[in-house]
């Protein structure tokens, strides 16, 4: 299904008067409003193909119906999201869950909806039916060279699919690790991972990057071979300029100061990008901004300051992606909420009085520094997001428009109630 712009406009017309009043109110206190709106309009966040179906847990899965049954339908769903918010202009594929059998027609469908392909993700954490060697004891770090070789070849195959689609990065998340002390020689596991990644790195086209994701635990519960940003950065540094560290917000132990990690990775030119989600306990994959929106704002504050200092383009210099799993919500609604939450944090970071903050820091005026940050954080910037969306032809309120247009009902009519999207 495809959402026509005039339908979105019709719903916008009902909301426009209230929107104008709200915008006027917030605009008064903002310096350089137009520049802020332009940055918000240019900002896009990639949608992972695996978030378009209802996620499950190991205990069960409760499909909501109307889920995409094919790669084409996943792309159509991202088209719906992008038509509503004008901020989701790419999709990230996961191989082999998404095999682009006919790359040129897949590419044509995407570009017809204004979409392109973000990073491609490899999968060496599950065994596939036709696979020779098992990943039970890991993949790129495996003690057996034949297993490592199989995992390397899979990553190269993923790069080749990505090349056909116009992707520019390979995203690698490994579940490699150990469950019990003594199971693994840490140093050998790390060395094997490095050597395997080196071969994959050598297969990257010139204009490609490899993003190395880290995660402290799960599915392994004693050690993970790329368990934190130090291990990922060590690999990225040894590999070279095309390798960098990917930060998934849920991949930190509770209370980790993620904003500080981000600030230093950016300083080193080694921040690949983000997987946005939120968590209370572990890798919960909850909706970004649903648990700790202040942390999200502090992360964006570091990003905006660090990127401006280095003259980086906010929207294109690094990868922006959601990585969440919706067990109980409509996946499209959840993704709309996610993009909205990210843009809110970004807008709040854009309106921080940077000069006043630097002065307060230089004067060790701790209370004032906090006031400055919280002034921005406590500003209701939602009218700015709505205005940027409106200017780009999107909806003033994407979720209410999605509901008003009964998009899910239409998808259920088209696809049925018993649909299960491929993915986690």
The rounded distance, in Å, linking the Cα atoms of 324 and 65 is 19
Contact with ligand PSV (CB under 6 A) among 54, 89, 121, 301: 121
**Shortest Cβ 268–Mn ion spacing (Å):** 21
Binding to Mn ion (CB under 5 A) within 283-302 occurs at 283
C-beta closer to ligand PSV: residue 233 or 405: 233
Dihedral sign of CA atoms 234, 230, 319, 408 in order: positive
Can residue 248 be called a binding residue for Mn ion (CB under 5 A)?
A: yes
Look at residue 326 and give the partner it binds from Mn ion, ligand PSV, none, a contact being a CB closer than 5 to 8 Å depending on partner kind: none
Can residue 215 be called a binding residue for ligand PSV (CB under 6 A)?
A: yes
Look at residue 121 and give the partner it binds from Mn ion, ligand PSV, none, a contact being a CB closer than 5 to 8 Å depending on partner kind: ligand PSV
Can residue 98 be called a binding residue for ligand PSV (CB under 6 A)?
A: no
Residue 343 · residue 40 · CB < 8 Å: yes
Strand partners, 275: 248, 321
The closest residue (CB) to ligand PSV is 173
Can residue 228 be called a binding residue for Mn ion (CB under 5 A)?
A: no
Contact with ligand PSV (CB under 6 A) among 154, 275, 343, 408: 275
**Residue 213 parent element (H or E):** strand 209-213
Tokens of 345: 């944090």
Contact with ligand PSV (CB under 6 A) among 67, 77, 283, 330: 283
Can residue 213 be called a binding residue for ligand PSV (CB under 6 A)?
A: yes
- Interface mask toward ligand PSV for 327-356; x: CB under 6 A: ------------------------------
**Shortest Cβ 331–Mn ion spacing (Å):** 16
The rounded distance, in Å, linking the Cα atoms of 24 and 415 is 43
Residue 405 · residue 81 · CB < 8 Å: no
Contact with Mn ion (CB under 5 A) among 73, 77, 228, 323: 323
Backbone angles phi, psi at 422, to 5 degrees: -70, 145
**Residue 123 parent element (H or E):** none
List of residues 6+ apart from 128 with CB closer than 8 A: 96
**Shortest Cβ 130–ligand PSV spacing (Å):** 20
**Shortest Cβ 122–ligand PSV spacing (Å):** 8
- Axis-axis angle for helices 33-42, 331-350 (nearest 10): 150
**Shortest Cβ 26–Mn ion spacing (Å):** 33
List of residues 6+ apart from 53 with CB closer than 8 A: 63, 67, 68, 331, 419, 420, 421, 422, 423
- Interface mask toward ligand PSV for 157-196; x: CB under 6 A: ----------------x-----------------------
C-beta closer to Mn ion: residue 94 or 142: 94
Can residue 276 be called a binding residue for ligand PSV (CB under 6 A)?
A: no
Residue 66 · residue 419 · CB < 8 Å: yes
Cα separation values, 143 from 202, 248, 289, 411, Å: 22, 27, 40, 47
Contact with ligand PSV (CB under 6 A) among 67, 118, 228, 248: 248
C-beta closer to ligand PSV: residue 74 or 275: 275
Residue 330 · residue 64 · CB < 8 Å: yes
Tokens of 347: 């807008």
Binding site for ligand PSV (CB under 6 A): 121, 173, 213, 215, 248, 275, 283, 323
């Amino acid at each position: 299904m495809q959402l026509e712009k005039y339908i979105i406009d019709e719903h916008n017309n009902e909301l426009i008067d209230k929107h104008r009043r709200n915008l006027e109110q917030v605009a008064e206190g903002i310096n350089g409003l137009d520049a802020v709106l332009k940055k918000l309009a240019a900002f896009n966040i990639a949608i992972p193909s695996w978030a378009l179906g209802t996620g499950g847990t190991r205990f069960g899965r409760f499909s909501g119906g109307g889920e995409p049954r094919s790669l084409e339908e996943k792309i159509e769903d991202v088209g719906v999201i992008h038509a509503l918010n004008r901020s989701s202009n790419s999709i990230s594929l996961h191989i082999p869950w998404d095999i682009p059998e006919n790359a040129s027609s897949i590419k044509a469908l995407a570009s017809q909806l204004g979409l392109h392909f973000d990073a491609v993700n490899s999968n060496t954490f599950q065994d596939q039916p036709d696979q020779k060697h098992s990943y039970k004891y890991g993949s790129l770090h495996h003690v057996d060279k034949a297993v490592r070789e199989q995992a390397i070849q899979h990553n190269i195959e993923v790069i080749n699919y990505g090349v056909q689609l116009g992707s520019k990065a390979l995203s690698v998340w490994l579940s490699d690790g150990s469950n019990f002390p003594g199971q693994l020689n840490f140093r050998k596991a790390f060395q094997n991972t490095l050597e395997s990644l080196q071969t994959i790195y050598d297969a990257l086209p010139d204009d490609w990057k490899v993003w190395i994701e880290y995660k402290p635990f799960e599915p392994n519960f004693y050690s993970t071979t790329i368990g934190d940003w130090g291990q990922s950065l060590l690999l990225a540094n040894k590999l070279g300029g095309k390798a960098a560290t990917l930060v998934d917000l849920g991949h930190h132990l509770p209370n980790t100061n993620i904003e500080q990690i981000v600030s230093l990775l950016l300083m080193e030119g080694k921040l690949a990008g983000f997987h946005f989600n939120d968590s209370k306990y572990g890798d919960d994959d909850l909706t970004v901004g649903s648990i700790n929106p202040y942390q999200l704002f502090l992360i964006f504050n570091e990003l905006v300051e660090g990127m401006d200092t280095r003259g980086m383009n906010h929207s294109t210099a690094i990868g922006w992606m959601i990585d969440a799993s919706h067990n109980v919500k409509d996946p499209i609604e959840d993704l709309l909420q996610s993009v909205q939450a990210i843009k809110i944090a970004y807008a709040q970071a854009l309106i921080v009085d940077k000069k006043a903050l630097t002065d307060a820091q230089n004067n060790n005026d701790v209370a004032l520094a906090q006031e400055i940050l919280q002034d921005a954080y406590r500003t209701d910037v939602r009218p700015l997001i709505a205005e940027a969306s409106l200017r780009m032809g999107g909806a003033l309120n994407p979720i209410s428009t999605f509901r008003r247009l009964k998009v899910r009902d239409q998808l259920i009519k088209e696809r049925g109630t018993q649909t299960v999207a491929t993915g986690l």
